[in-house]
Chain A
Amino acid sequence: MKLVYDQAKCSGCAVCVSVCSFCRKGYVRPVNESNGRIKFVYVNPTDSYVVVCHQCEDAACAKACLQEAITRHSATGTWMVHVEKCIGCGLCVDACPYGAIYIDAENGKADKCDLCQGEPACVKYCAAQALKLADE
C-alpha cells in the first residue's frame, strides 16, 4: 500500500499535516516545520502542495541504512523504522529523494510515514480526496 497524492485536487488546507501530528502526538505541529511524516510546502496563496513517502519498491532510505533499521512490513508493504536499531545518523535522510524521512527531534531517531498501520489519518481527513491509499 502507498499514498497517492493528486495536487490538482489539493486546496492547501494542510489538514493532513495537522492530523498526522495530532493523532500521533496530541498537538498540531507547525506546518512550516521542515520535519514531519508529511510535509506541507506553501509556495504562495494560490499554490501549495504536500510531500508524502512513496513507499518505494527500491527504497533509498532502507538501502542507505547501515543498521538495517528500515524494513518493509510484509502485510502492508510499508517501510518502517525500527527505533531500537536506529542510531540517528541521518544517512537515510540524505538518501531519500523526496525528503520524506527525517530525524525526530524528540528521540533523535529517524521517523517516517508508516501509513498509520494501514488506516492513514491524512487520507481519512482529506475532504478534497487529494490523498488516497493505493494497493500497489
Chain B
Amino acid sequence: MVSYGGYCGRLLRVDLTTKKISTEVLTDDFIRKYVGCNGFGAAILFKELPARIDPFSPANKVVLATGPLTGTIVPCTPKVGIFTKSPLTGGFMDSYAGGHFGAELKFAGFDGVIIEGVSENPVWLYIHDGQAELRDAGKLWGLSVPETEAAVRAELNNNAVHVASIGPAGERLVRFGCVMVDMSHAAGRGGVGAVLGSKKLKAIVVHGTKYSVPVANVEATKAVADRIYQHISETPALRDGMPKYGTTGALKANQASGILGTRNWQSETFEHASNIDGDACLKELFEKNLACFQCPLRCVHFSRIKEGKYAGTETIGPQYETMYSLGSVCGIADIKAVAKANEYCNAMGMDTISAGVTVAFAMELYERGILTAEDLGGLQLTFGNDDALLAALERIVTRSGVYRTLGEGTKRAAEIFGGETYKYAVHVKGLELAGHSGRGYKGMSLGYATSPRGGSHQDMRHLPERAGQFDRRDPNGKAQLNYDITSTTTIRDTLNYCAMIEDVIGRVGLNERHAELLNTVTGLNFSVQDVQRLADRIWNLERAFNVREGMSRKDDVLPYRFMNEPIPEGPSQGMHCPPEELERMKDELYKLRRWTPEGIPSKELLLDLGLDDVAAELWP
C-alpha cells in the first residue's frame, strides 16, 4: 500500500489484444514524482509509447487517471483525465470529463486504467469493486451514447453504474471523436474517443461500493473543503451565476469585448449574439440543474425544447464552448438549433468544438466558392444555415464524400484541399480553436501557440485578461503570465479540481493554497517550490513528448488568420498577433522555461527536474 492519502494505490492494465487484465501497484516514488492525473498520464505515455507511432495503431495506449482529491470531501473534484497520443495533433493529449465517473473509479478501487493493444471484436470494460472484465460489445457497436448507456445498464441490471463511452463518430475514427461520460460530460478534445474506437473499446463502465479514499489529515482536509465551500457561498458569480447560467455567460462577455469567434473567425462580433447567449438559454432551453459528483456549483443544465422546429430535443447543455462552436462561429442565430446540434454531437460522441469549427471552415470554403454545393453533396453550406449545419454534422459521422475529409479535422482537410484553404483552417497543431480569441488577448495568442495540446483554452486561461487584471492588448509580460497561469492549470489537472474554482485556489502563479490542498489530502508535505517543480516536471514531460514526435518552435504558431488578419470591427478592432510579435513572445517564454531557442527543454532543465530518462532520449 502507498504511504500517502488520496489514492487507492492501484492501476488497472487492460491488454485488448491478449485480453489480459492485471493490477499494478502505485509506488511511493511514482506518487512523489508525478502526484496524479496528468502527471500519471504523461509519465506512463512517455515511457511506454514508441516515438512516431500512428495514433490509430495498436501501439498507442489510452490512460485514464484520477487525481488525489477525487473521491474525497474536497468539492469540485469529480474529473477523470484521459490521455493518449492524439490523432488530431500527433502529440500528447489530455482531455477531462466531469460527472461521476472519476470518483466512482476510485470507489471501485482504482486510481487509473491503462488500455493497450487492440481488440479484434468490439468489447466493453466493466470495472467493479477491485475486479474488471471485458464483455462483448457486438450489440453495442453502432449505438449512440445514450443507447449505449441504456444497454449496459440493462445488461448489468444496475442503474447506478457510471459509463464512459464512445459513439459512432469514435467508432468510425472521426478524428475528433470524443469520450462521453455520464452521457453529457465530454472528454472532448483531441480525439481520445477515436483512439478508443480504433481499439474497438465501446465503453468503460464502473461501479464501486467498497473502497473509500483515505486522506492524510482528516481535520485539515475538512477545513480546506470548508474554505472552498465558504468562498463559493460568498462569491455571487459562483454561488448564483454558476447554477443560473453555467458557463453560458461568457458569450455575452466576449461579445461585449468584440472577441466572440464569428463566421469562422472572419469577425469577432456577432450581430445575433443576443439570440444565442445565456439569457436565451434561460428563456428557451434550461429546465433543471444537474451537477457533477461533489459539486455545489450545479453548472450543468438539462434542456428540453417544447415547441417549434426543434420540439422534442432533449440535451444536457449547451455550455459556452458549444454556443460558440455550433453557434456564432457557424453564424447560427437560433439557440434551439445550437441545442439540437449539441444533442446530436453528444449522442454521436463528437467534440462540439472541433466539429463546429470544422463545419465553419467548410462554410467559409463554400462561401468563397472553393467547395461547391456539388462537392458538398447538395448542401448549401452558408453561414447561419442551421439545416445545413445539422446535415453536415450527420455526414461527418457517416463519413460520406467530402465529409470524410472534414472528419479528419481542419488541418488535414486543408492539406487535402490544398491551395489557400490553410488560411481558413482555425487550429493550432491540428486542434481546432476553443472559443476564446487568439487575437483579442495577447496572453491567449502566446498560450494557444505554445500549448502542448494545441488550440485548447485549458492550458493558458483567458480570464485574468478578460477581467482586466492584465492588459490584453499588450504583449509585454505575457510570457511570465503564461508561465504563471500554465503552472496553475497544470497543477489543477494533477490534483484534478475543476476550472470553475480556479479563482478560489489561485489562477496566476502557484501559491500556498495549491500546496495546502495537495498536502492535507496526500501528506506529501510539498512546499510551494516543490509544487512549482512538479508543475514544471509535468509540463516539460508533455513538451518532451511532443518534441520526440518532431515538434519544435516551428509548430508553436497560430492560425494564419490570427497572425495576418486584424479583427475587422468592434471594440477589439485591429487586434491580431503578427508573426514577429509572436516570435518575440516565444523567445521570452522559451528563456523563462529554460528551453533552447528551438523550443526544446534543455538537458540541464530536464536533469534538474529529475527527468533523466527524458533527457537521455532528447539529448542522446
Contacts and interface: CB of A to CB of B under 8 A. Distances in A.
B9 interface: no
A2 B303 CA distance: 33
Interface in B299-350: 300, 302, 316
A79 to B, nearest CB: 26
B58 interface: no
Nearest to A43: B159
Contacts of B75: 15
A41 B160 CA distance: 7
B290 A44 contact: no
A125 B232 CA distance: 11
B72 interface: yes
B529 to A, nearest CB: 30
B502 to A, nearest CB: 19
Interface string A43-60: 111100000000000000
A129 to B, nearest CB: 11
Interface in B125-147: none
B182 interface: yes
Contacts of A26: 215, 218
Interface string A76-94: 0000000000000000000
Contact of A30 (B153, B183, B210, B300): B210
A46 B289 contact: no
Given A11-B298, A22-B73, A128 B212 contact: no
A44 B159 contact: yes
Contacts, number: 103
Contact of B222 (A11, A14, A23, A127): A23
B296 interface: yes
SS class, residues of chain A in contact with chain B: loop
Contacts of A34: 209
B440 interface: no
B153 A44 contact: yes
Given A11-B290, A18-B73, A32-B160, A45 B209 contact: no
A38 to B, nearest CB: 14
Contacts of A30: 104, 107, 208-212
A130 to B, nearest CB: 10
Contacts of A41: 160
B213 interface: yes
A14 B153 contact: no
A62 B501 CA distance: 45
Contacts of B210: 30, 33
Contacts of B207: 32
A125 B296 contact: yes
Interface string A26-42: 11111111100000011
A33 B109 CA distance: 13
Interface in B203-244: 207-215, 218, 222, 229, 232-233, 239, 243
B159 A27 contact: no
Nearest to B150: A44
Contacts of B91: none
Nearest to A125: B229
A31 B298 CA distance: 18
Contact of A28 (B72, B209, B291): B72
Given A45-B182, A45-B316, A127-B296, A12 B291 contact: yes
Nearest to B233: A127
B522 to A, nearest CB: 15
Contacts of B73: 18-19, 22, 28
A66 interface: no
Contacts of A28: 71-73, 212-213, 294
A45 to B, nearest CB: 4
Given A11-B290, A19-B73, A43-B159, A27 B213 contact: yes
A45 B213 contact: no
Contacts of B99: 45
Chain A CB within 10 Å, residue with most, of B183, B209, B297: B209
Chain B CB within 10 Å, residue with most, of A11, A31, A45: A45
A14 B298 CA distance: 11
A130 B150 CA distance: 27
Nearest to B297: A127
A55 B206 CA distance: 34
Nearest to B158: A32
B390 interface: no
A13 interface: yes
B100 interface: yes
A66 B554 CA distance: 79
A32 B26 CA distance: 25
B209 A46 contact: no
B50 to A, nearest CB: 37
Contacts of B256: none
A13 to B, nearest CB: 4
Contacts of A22: 73, 218, 222
B184 interface: yes
B360 to A, nearest CB: 29
B292 interface: yes
A19 B74 CA distance: 10
A82 B239 CA distance: 40
B213 A46 contact: no
B293 interface: yes
B536 interface: no
Contact of B292 (A8, A13, A31, A32): A13
B302 A46 contact: yes
Nearest to B211: A30
A14 B218 CA distance: 20
B212 to A, nearest CB: 4
B493 interface: no
B295 interface: yes
Interface of B: 71-73, 75, 99-100, 103-104, 107, 149-150, 153, 159-160, 162, 182-184, 207-215, 218, 222, 229, 232-233, 239, 243, 288-298, 300, 302, 316
10 contacts: A11-B290, A12-B291, A13-B293, A23-B222, A26-B218, A28-B71, A32-B208, A44-B150, A45-B99, A45-B290
Q: Which 5 A-B pairs have the closest CB atoms?
A: A127-B296, A30-B107, A13-B291, A11-B291, A26-B218
Given A13-B295, A28-B213, A31-B100, 7 more contacts: A11-B288, A13-B293, A13-B294, A28-B72, A31-B103, A45-B99, A127-B243
